[in-house]
Structure 1
């Protein structure tokens, strides 16, 4: 389910997978929860032409990892309701303005109650505005991610996005898509100089990306720390530092969460009616009792309860 902005909407979800699918237009990520228990998330959205305006919140802490769409340039103000989150290992403070490069990596950690708004501008429209209004090569602005710190500018963008989301399409209709995009880009240019990003973060992102690739390629046989070190050419200490900084988890904890999510997807899949024990074994959980405990600890319900709840809601 992609974001449907044909009309203003507000949707509530009971799983990270639903939120993940709803945001597929702007990023290709896996969203996993970092806290135990059942989860509630909300997504609200509107549009101005091809510009997407949206916001979301979650009752539990989340980790998002993957890649942004190459079709959009996304800008998001950091307010009190989302300050303290981490993006690509960097803490975001109230008053920051986060500029996200099209096709860039996503490593995001958010706390319970995190609420954030964003606007995604089509890359072609953003390039046209930057070249026409600033006589700059758009590549220098769009193709790198950066953080501008200016509370006044961040608050102005937050108010603009909130006004559109509150007023729905009727409000958005009063502002043409080109005008809105130009206003947003003007705000990004009015802020302070971007914060310098530590060069070590880029290296650590590569380490985590390579490790995740190996983990996802063999969910049934989770790689050992030694294998992850070999695949990433990182020492054990650096491997753990990179995972902690970017995902807030150890490599083993992250691998287990990804495997539990894969198990839940298979359990809920309508075409896969195999017994839950076989699903667990297929993903390398050799002790059904421990699998049920780990599953319940993460999702707040037993595997069979997930299947029954999904069947009842179908």
Structure 2
């Protein structure tokens, strides 16, 4: 059982944004980096009793999805260069936010950010809240609640105490065993936080409409992934003006509709290439299947976004498959680089692995 695992569960670096998003616990999210070039992020997951802690360092991004309906979770900033916007609400460095289980999550981080989260099983949280005469988590209608400043400060301090040693350990190979006192303190503090969270004012109607419109466009994209999407046709299909569509995407995603949708498609292509066998898949066919009909423009945009060509991504996918079986990649000038990149993406130091 998950509750029996204690201490460090995972510490890993990523060069693939989608893989990073899949690794995050307590939520199911889609993830779009906002910065062009090679992607890098890091996540660490710890278990203290029934409390799951996550700490991550990441580039500017847009995230949308849902919180796990079986977990009671809170989110806190560790280090931020610009205020992230969560569900239409700009956050402050001192904020600690509690999410209703199963609620929607829409987040825009306009710059690099380091964040943390704590969660526990919803059934356990509700039972303990009921024992203390407090309302259960599911009784709150609002999707987000904010902690009072004094409890938020205690949460941030305790989170740092619990995660700093493993986060700062060289290579993540050394970390302290789960401390009973810290575990008990975390448990009591999280329950206190759940019981004293304050209601947040909902974002205005315009913000809610913008979030809903971006979600509708995402659904449209998935339904028409093989066709180019032009702004005029999109506005006609959704019965919105170009101005309203533009403002919605800038507010929610920090990008124009054209730039965001192109980046989204490029990410889909990259995922398809990484999941492909070089002998069974051609870059051209994957690009065409995702609505890129001008292959020269596609190759330029792909390299600009990911810092490598589509064929290099495909070669890496093949090398990763070979190396994961203990074999050696094919000979060639990029052999060493492919080996090191695969090991880095798996969280292994190239020097230590050899």
After superposition, the Cα gap between the structure-2 partners of 1:187 and 1:138, relative to the gap in structure 1 and judged at 3 Å, is closer
Paired residue for 1:196? 201
After superposition, the Cα gap between the structure-2 partners of 1:164 and 1:172, relative to the gap in structure 1 and judged at 3 Å, is farther
Distance in 1 separating the partners of 2:53 and 2:154: 15
Paired residue for 1:157? 155
Distance in 1 separating the partners of 2:194 and 2:137: 13
- Which aligned pairs between 1:1-314 and structure 2 lie closer than 5 A? 7-8=7-8, 9-23=10-24, 25-58=25-58, 60-81=59-80, 84-141=83-140, 144-148=142-146, 150-166=148-164, 170-176=177-183, 180-190=186-196, 193-200=198-205, 201-229=207-235, 232-271=238-277, 273-314=280-321
SS of alignment partner, residue 184 of structure 1:
helix
Distance in 2 separating the partners of 1:66 and 1:44: 21
CA contact (8 A) 1:94 1:151 kept: no
Report the TM-score when normalising by structure 1. 0.86
The range that moved more, 203-212 or 294-303, is 203-212
The range that moved more, 300-309 or 149-158, is 149-158
Distance in 2 separating the partners of 1:154 and 1:222: 46
**Considering only aligned residues, what root-mean-square deviation do their CA atoms show, in Å?**
2.7
- For residue 245 of structure 1, report the CA deviation from its aligned partner: 1.4
After superposition, the Cα gap between the structure-2 partners of 1:74 and 1:149, relative to the gap in structure 1 and judged at 3 Å, is closer
Distance in 2 separating the partners of 1:190 and 1:65: 27
CA contact (8 A) 2:31 2:61 kept: yes
Q: After superposition, what is the alpha-carbon deviation per residue over 1:258-286, rounded to whole angstroms, capped at 9, x for unaligned? A: 21111111112234632111111111111
Q: After superposition, what is the alpha-carbon deviation per residue over 1:69-122, rounded to whole angstroms, capped at 9, x for unaligned? A: 212121022344365011122211111111122222221112443101111221
- For residue 36 of structure 1, report the CA deviation from its aligned partner: 0.5
- For residue 301 of structure 1, report the CA deviation from its aligned partner: 0.9
After superposition, the Cα gap between the structure-2 partners of 1:271 and 1:170, relative to the gap in structure 1 and judged at 3 Å, is same
- For residue 150 of structure 1, report the CA deviation from its aligned partner: 4.3
CA contact (8 A) 1:77 1:96 kept: yes
CA contact (8 A) 1:75 1:99 kept: yes
SS of alignment partner, residue 96 of structure 1:
coil
Report the TM-score when normalising by structure 2. 0.77
After superposition, the Cα gap between the structure-2 partners of 1:80 and 1:275, relative to the gap in structure 1 and judged at 3 Å, is closer
SS of alignment partner, residue 65 of structure 1:
strand
Distance in 2 separating the partners of 1:47 and 1:190: 24
Q: Which runs of 5+ in 2 are unaligned?
A: 166-174, 322-354
